[in-house]
């Protein structure tokens, strides 16, 4: 809970705001808004010293209008039912915005992962998966978990392995979890997907001259100054892609401190330093900032909160100087702080669209696991031969010869990672145009977040209509 309004209430406030721009049946809207299922677990885990600890966990399935439901598993000490429900409902709207055919879900385990050994984390993850399976809250056609705050590939491989051993006659068992290592049915490009999606989404906005003009910014990413809060999976990859595209990442904040370099931090160096020292503080070619809060209040073009919810609140919103706030994390701006930013004409690119890269590539991974074939395996060589034939035709017409090196580069067929990036780029670009058009259609009263919710609600309503449940 934050102040008087809980996270789930904040999501519902956004829903209610959007509903005012629609004329759907209120009974149907009630059905869409409400969380369909929540399961609370409490299970024992043996620690390395032999003692037993009871761990609390939740899984919420917000909407079953499409199956399976889909959403990450979070390991954090402040996980609670309200947060899990809020994140599950955001997932339903997010999937609809980017046309991914899943309902929304979310899971959370209330632990501080830093307090546990690797073996203890494995026992917790496997036991949670076992409990999810017992309650029918996991399965390739039921509910498919993925990584989120505090979890990554390792946890997903334990989950997939546990599920597979419990369902060893299910040919599609590996499709019950996404975000797995490639060797265990994962897909190339899933680890970077959310950060890359954040980059693609911001790039779409920045390429729009009409949207940049009121912010006093030129189009394009190159030369823009960026501050990133949270240097985990999402924040690291987002920082990397911004930097590769010519933006200057001038500050990064982590839970234990923040660093800056007005000329732009070297993301690979900061990552290497963090791997060696377990902290970004004192990274080469950087200065430490007095506090982690100082970073997000810096003057910059793009602020990327990529840690947790409730980072920009009534307490600090007046000190936020960024022209664009790109919500890589879920729920980093409270509803009332969001209104302040809107009144000040700050462009907020909302979580419900911007961090959908993860679930989009999870969808590709799920499809790969169901089809049991790597993307590109069938067509790569075919494409290469076709391009070569085309290039030979060009040689014949122009009577000029390509070198073998040039032929090889020009005729290269797509690898799995290329196809994943292309699919993600297409998804983020198409969805951005859709939500931007909706915002323009409504006019000055709506921001991009409201436009996202309207687009999502319209699509879910259509889905219920097709089922014949509501006329």
Return d(Cα 357, Cα 389) in angstroms, integer: 35
Whichever of 203 and 292 has its CB closer to ligand NAD, that residue is: 292
Binding mask 276-315 for ligand NAD (x = CB under 6 A): ----------------x-------------xxx-------
Stretches 230-238, 366-374, 410-418, 419-427: which one binds ligand NAD (CB under 6 A)? 230-238
Q: Is 106 an active-site residue? A: yes
Report the residue from 145, 350, 358, 376 that binds ligand NAD according to the rule CB under 6 A.
358
Per 3-state DSSP, the chain is made up of helix, strand and coil in percentages (nearest 5) of 50, 15, 35
Answer yes or no whether residue 360 interacts with ligand NAD by CB under 6 A: no
Considering only the stretches 47-55, 147-155, 313-321, 385-393, report the one whose residues sit in contact with ligand NAD under the rule CB under 6 A.
Answer: 147-155
Least spacing, CB of residue 176 vs ligand NAD, in Å = 17
Rounded-to-integer distance, Cα 43 and Cα 256, Å: 31
> Toward ligand NAD, which CB reaches closer, 8 or 461?
8
Residue 454 binds ligand NAD (CB under 6 A): no
Report the alpha-carbon distance of residue 429 to residue 434 in Å, rounded: 9
Distance CA 292, CA 251 (A): 10
How many binding residues for ligand NAD (CB under 6 A)? 25
70 to 109: interface string for ligand NAD, x by CB under 6 A: --x-------------------------------------
Among 230, 248, 289, 326, binds ligand NAD (CB under 6 A): 230
Specify the residue, 234 or 298, whose C-beta has the smaller distance to ligand NAD.
234
The torsion of the CA quartet 336, 341, 343, 346, rounded to 10 degrees, works out to -160
Among 254, 297, 301, 369, binds ligand NAD (CB under 6 A): 254
**Which residue stretch of 170-178, 250-258, 399-407, 424-432 sits at the interface with ligand NAD (rule: CB under 6 A)?**
250-258
Which of these segments, 59-67, 327-335, 431-439, 460-468, binds ligand NAD (CB under 6 A)? Answer: 327-335
- Alpha-carbon distance of 293 to 142, in angstroms, equals 41
- With H, G, I as helix, E, B as strand and everything else as coil, classify residue 413: coil
Supply the minimum distance, in Å, between the C-beta of residue 185 and ligand NAD.
17
What tokens were used for 256?
């234990």
Residue nearest to ligand NAD (CB): 232
**Contact region with ligand NAD (CB under 6 A), list: 115-123, 133-141, 226-234, 428-436:** 226-234
- 57's tokens: 């966990």
Residue 104 in 3-state DSSP? strand
- How far apart are CB 5 and ligand NAD at their closest, in Å? 18
> Nearest distance from residue 230's CB to ligand NAD, in Å?
3
Q: What is the DSSP letter of 139?
A: B
Contact by Cβ (8 Å): 45, 123: yes
- Which residues, other chains included, contact 396 with Cβ-Cβ below 8 Å and sequence gap of 6+? none
Cα(207)–Cα(36) distance, rounded to whole angstroms? 39
Applying CB under 6 A, which of residues 229, 260, 411, 427 lies at the interface with ligand NAD? 229
Stretch that binds ligand NAD, among 48-56, 317-325, 326-334, 384-392 (CB under 6 A): 326-334
Pair type for strands 248-254 and 143-147: unpaired
Candidate list 66, 106, 180, 292, residue with the active-site label: 106
CB 11 within 8 A of CB 90: yes
CA distance readout (Å), 290 to 152, 154, 256, 398, 409: 30, 34, 11, 64, 49
- Single residue of 133, 233, 243, 338 touching ligand NAD by CB under 6 A: 233
Tell me which residue of 107, 64, 66, 103 sits closest to 85, measured CA to CA.
107
Peptide bond before 97: cis, by omega within 30 degrees of 0? no
Q: What residues from 176 to 195 belong to the interface with ligand NAD (CB under 6 A)?
A: 194
Q: Which of 147, 186, 201, 350 binds ligand NAD (CB under 6 A)?
A: 147
First-last CA distance in the chain: 37
| Position 232 contacts ligand NAD (CB under 6 A) | yes
Q: Which of 332, 309, 360, 350 has its CA nearest to residue 205?
A: 350
Where does this chain bind ligand NAD (CB under 6 A)?
Answer: 72, 147-150, 194, 229-235, 253-255, 292, 306-308, 328-330, 355, 358
Instruction: Just list the catalytic residues.
Output: 106
């Amino acid at each position: 809970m934050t102040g008087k309004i809980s996270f789930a209430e904040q999501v519902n406030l956004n829903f209610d705001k959007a509903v005012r721009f629609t004329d759907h049946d209120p009974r149907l809207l009630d059905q869409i808004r409400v969380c369909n299922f929540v399961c609370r677990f409490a299970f024992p885990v043996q620690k390395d010293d032999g003692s037993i600890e009871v761990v609390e966990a939740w899984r919420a399935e917000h909407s079953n209008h499409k199956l399976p439901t889909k959403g990450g598993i979070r390991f954090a000490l402040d996980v609670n039912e309200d947060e899990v429900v809020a994140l599950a409902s955001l997932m339903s709207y997010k999937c609809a915005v980017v046309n991914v055919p899943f309902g929304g879900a979310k899971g959370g385990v209330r632990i501080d992962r830093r307090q546990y050994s690797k073996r203890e984390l494995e026992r917790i993850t496997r036991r949670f998966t076992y409990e999810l399976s017992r309650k029918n809250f996991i399965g390739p056609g039921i509910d498919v978990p993925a990584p989120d705050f505090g979890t990554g590939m390792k946890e997903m491989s334990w989950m997939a392995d546990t599920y597979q051993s419990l369902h060893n006659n299910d040919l599609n068992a590996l499709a019950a979890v996404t975000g797995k290592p490639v060797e265990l049915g994962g897909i190339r490009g899933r680890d970077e997907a959310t950060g890359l999606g954040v980059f693609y989404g911001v790039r779409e906005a920045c390429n729009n001259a009409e949207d940049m003009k009121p912010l006093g910014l030129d189009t394009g990413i190159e030369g823009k100054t960026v501050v990133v809060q949270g240097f985990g999976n999402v924040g690291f990859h987002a920082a990397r892609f911004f930097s590769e595209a010519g933006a200057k990442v001038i500050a990064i904040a982590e839970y234990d401190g923040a660093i800056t370099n007005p000329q732009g931090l070297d993301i690979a160096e900061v990552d290497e330093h963090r791997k060696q020292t377990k902290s970004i503080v004192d990274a080469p070619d950087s200065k430490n900032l007095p506090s982690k809060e100082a970073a997000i209040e810096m003057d910059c073009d793009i602020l990327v909160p990529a840690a947790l919810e409730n980072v920009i609140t009534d307490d600090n919103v007046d000190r936020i100087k960024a022209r664009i706030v790109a919500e890589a994390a879920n729920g980093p701006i409270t509803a009332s702080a969001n209104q302040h930013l809107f009144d000040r004409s700050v462009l907020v690119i909302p979580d419900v669209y911007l961090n959908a890269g993860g679930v989009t590539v999870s969808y590709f991974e799920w499809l790969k696991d169901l089809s049991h074939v790597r993307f590109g395996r069938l067509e790569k060589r075919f494409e290469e031969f076709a391009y070569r034939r085309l290039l030979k035709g060009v040689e014949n017409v122009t009577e000029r010869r390509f070198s073998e090196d040039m032929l090889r580069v020009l005729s290269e067929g797509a690898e799995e990672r290329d196809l994943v990036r292309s699919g993600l780029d297409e998804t983020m670009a198409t969805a951005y145009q859709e939500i931007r058009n909706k915002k323009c259609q409504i006019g000055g009263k709506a921001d991009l977040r409201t436009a996202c919710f309207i687009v999502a609600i319209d699509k879910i309503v259509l889905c219920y209509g097709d089922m014949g449940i509501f006329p």
